[in-house]
């Protein structure tokens, strides 16, 4: 069995989330989640987004858009954003 990290335990509801203090990152992401018009942005981008075809299926448009925004908000490169998503529960929830 693979050793479980704290982030994995938090995702599975191992009891850490009930005692967890909300961070500024949590507050910021919640605010952005309510302020940014995700459905309208997706509707504008959707005609230009790659369609499912012969190759690898594309990742969902809204997920990619959120990752793009996170990269700009937190000044992360692609690899750093991937690492942050693995590491941060609040980013995964966003």
> In angstroms, what CA-CA distances link 25 with 21, 33, 35, 57, 75?
11, 12, 15, 31, 13
> In angstroms, what CA-CA distances link 50 with 31, 47, 63, 81?
29, 8, 14, 22
Token output for 6: 């704290």
Domain assignment present for 1:
no
Domain assignment present for 81:
yes
Task: Decide if pLDDT at 14 tops 60.
Answer: no
**Domain range holding 89?**
20-93
pLDDT tens digits, residue range 45-81? 999 988 888 788 888 899 999 999 999 999 999 899 8
Whole-structure pTM value: 0.72
Domain assignment present for 9:
no
> In angstroms, what CA-CA distances link 3 with 6, 8, 31, 87, 91?
10, 10, 34, 15, 22
The predicted model gives 34-53 an average pLDDT of 90
The predicted model gives 16-39 an average pLDDT of 85
Q: What percent of the chain has pLDDT over 70?
A: 82
The rounded radius of gyration (Å) of the Cα atoms in the chain is 16
The C-alpha atoms of residue 73 and residue 91 are separated, in whole angstroms, by 12
Number of folded domains in the chain? 1
Domain assignment present for 55:
yes
Q: Give 45 or 2, the one with higher predicted confidence.
A: 45
Q: What is the pLDDT of residue 69?
A: 93
């Amino acid at each position: 069995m693979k050793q479980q990290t704290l982030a994995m335990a938090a995702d599975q509801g191992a009891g850490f989330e009930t005692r967890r203090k909300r961070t500024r990152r949590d507050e910021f992401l919640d605010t952005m989640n309510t302020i940014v018009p995700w459905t309208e942005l997706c509707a504008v981008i959707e005609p230009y987004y790659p369609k499912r075809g012969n190759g690898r299926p594309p990742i969902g448009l809204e997920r990619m858009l959120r990752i793009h925004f996170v990269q700009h908000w937190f000044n992360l490169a692609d690899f750093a954003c991937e690492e942050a998503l693995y590491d941060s529960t609040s980013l995964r929830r966003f």
